[in-house]
Amino acid sequence: MVAALLGELADLVLPGACAGCGAERVRLSYGTCAACVTALEALRPYATAPSPSPAGFPPCVTVGSYAGSLRGALLAYKEKGRHRLARPLGALLAGAVAAVAPRDRPVVLLPVPSTAAARRERHGDHMARLTDHAVRRLRTAGYTATTVQPLRALPKPDSTSLDAAGRLISAVNSLRISPRISVLQRGGRIRGTLVVTDDIVTTGATLAAVARRLEEADMQVTGAAVLAATQLRRTAPGN
Ligand SMILES: [Zn+2]
């Protein structure tokens, strides 16, 4: 809490470089220069899927590709503690959610959980914070929107040497359904269009694993909304 507050103050007193492009000595809005704000506002969410897609990968909409101002802003938010970016990035994420969820039904956002180590490193749960801002923006736009966290993330071993199937198994094994889930379901808080939110989709293993774990608890995911999608190189069969 203190760390987050200090981060906010540092941002106010020493705006520093633009979070999106690194430009210095420019006027910043939420830590972002006018050119980057224009670039971010011009993004139009689109459907994306990794190639190849892991089994159970949900329909997914991304705000944009992991490049340019979006990549810069996301890195500054996630890795450099520029927490004020949660508001504009959350608003962008809401745009991707709106492309997945019909407006006439309640929508429930389920952020991909962070491990305890990631929360310590990033001064809090960066996806929960982003998702809270997305919920606010959706409500302003007329949606009945809420967020719940039915999952816990355990540390998972380095997956770079695993193949696609191995990555998916590793991702599923690192997720636990919270014991509170049945209480939440009975309370009616988890009713509506379920949309998983994440920052970046790369191989799709995390989103597929989250959808699978939620399904085991009778929660059918409608889709996923992410801020950025990396462009994967296709590999030849057998590689
Ligand atoms: Zn910029």
- Tens digits of per-residue pLDDT, 28-74? 888 899 999 999 999 999 999 999 999 999 999 999 999 999 999 99
Cβ atoms 99, 45 nearer than 8 A: yes
Q: How far is the CA of 19 from the centre of ligand 1 (A)?
A: 6
Instruction: Calculate how far, in angstroms, residue 65's C-alpha sits from the geometric centre of ligand 1.
Output: 17
- CA 89 to ligand 1 centroid distance, Å: 14
The answer to whether position 34 is within a domain reads: no
User: Does a structural domain hold residue 90?
Assistant: yes
Assess if residue 190 is contained within a domain. yes
The range of the structural domain enclosing residue 54 comes to: 44-229
107 vs 98: CA distance, rounded Å: 9
Would 14 be classed as within a structural domain? no
User: Considering the domain boundaries, does residue 113 fall inside one?
Assistant: yes
**Is residue 49 assigned to a domain?**
yes
Structure tokens at 223: 């889709």
70: in domain:
yes
Q: What is the pLDDT of residue 2?
A: 45
> What per-residue confidence (pLDDT) applies to 180?
72
Task: Indicate the pTM of the whole model.
Answer: 0.87
Between the CA of 85 and the centroid of ligand 1 the distance, in Å, is: 13
Least confident of 40-49, 93-102, 176-185: 176-185
Domain count, the chain: 1
Structural domain includes residue 2: no
The reported pLDDT for the residue numbered 210 is 96
187: domain CATH number is 3.40.50
What rounded mean pLDDT belongs to the chain? Answer: 87
Rounded to whole angstroms, how far apart are CA atoms 56 and 142?
30
Ligand 1 geometric centre to CA of 130 (Å): 20
Distance from the alpha carbon of residue 84 to the mean position of ligand 1, in angstroms: 15
| Cα–ligand 1 centroid distance for 206 (angstroms) | 30
Q: How far is the CA of 28 from the centre of ligand 1 (A)?
A: 8
Contact 205, 167 (CB under 8 A): yes
